[in-house]
Structure 1
């Protein structure tokens, strides 16, 4: 909607409808409840084709019971566990994940049962018995200065899962390089990954992402070479106003810098913090 100066628009009404609910229980192969497991919901069309996948912030309780609410009426597939094509996605403390399983006990999305959700209705008994736990592996290597090839200590690294040549989500694992520049990241299930340098505060070093794949064994001898980053300077000008209160809001203004036209594996953006000093009059 676009409004012009002085325009008055009325009749912007909304009709609210009651949302639906899906409930069920998640058990392991021994019949024990799976606790604190995140749900994955996939919307499907009338031909049972996947339309949209969502990793939800709904988890099982200490009985393995879950309740997903706030859903629009429609047809869904419900899953838990990690898709091995994506590696280890998700938040919280890193742990060995279960292999992705769809309701009721299907390992593949095409074999999943369709869950119908009605407006204002509750669909219960959508239980899942999870598959096997994915075996975790280790990725290790060194981080060095790209010019001197000397090891760099105390550099924090991050890992992102990759799919279709792009980063799909960052893992809740971090690694700090040792005094010899060595690092080790544990608990990685099979998948494709991107290894990056995490923001280093005042450190101006950067490195291109290092891509690697975990199949059925540990990955060793990864090398990250850093370079000295460039600097951007400038002046922020507030046009058409000398309001001191508004000028004061520019203090510690954050700027985002994005790379245009770079290769797909290049980081999408870097967040900078602009510190304004001086006296506004």
Structure 2
């Protein structure tokens, strides 16, 4: 049974009962935008609601189409989205977001507290690994990794370096699944406890290893690999099978392969 203390869905409030939506959604948007998480598109809002994000304001230029999409793809959150979504003119919607989404839906939500995320990352015993992106560079790749980690039920995703894992482009790439796992930026010294398995071309072939549930899985940047600090922290260097003369895998692909290996019976 899942330990409630490790469940990220318990870290935020109910999206309907606790929302703070003004009668004028545009005024609310302008008041809250600088301090809230932008949920860009229907799928981001859908996932945020499923994982109990506190949604403050949600707008769409076509409420009927958005609710029809909900009926088709996410009937479990139909009541919540029906209560949240406010229709605004298309020009107004486009003025609120930096890059309009094809679903013409956008929302603002409360970011989970750092303290809550740190508790989730530190909670032991862990039943799933923590993914560490060591000095990542690409915002879209970071979002794709968070989406993968949520799908595999990872405990969380940690970034080191300057990239903000809650940047709007990362959240867009993660399709709102930041709320399904613990996402924080830490230093190498602050990483959660557990054996660190760092991906490196010169490491031991992952196919011969069983990754434990409390593993910290570390991935360097595609350009420069692992940082000196992370390499020094690593307990094991691990490599993915790769054809000779192929330089590297995409970061999200590497994470997906590693998490699949962890999740497979007997690591095989």
TM-score normalised by L of structure 1? 0.29
Q: TM-score, normalised by structure 2?
A: 0.30
Which structure has the larger Rg?
Answer: 1
* Greater length-normalized contact order (CA 8 Å, ≥ 6 residues apart): 2
Q: When you count helix as a share of all residues, which structure comes out higher? A: 2
Between structures 1 and 2, the one with greater strand share: 1
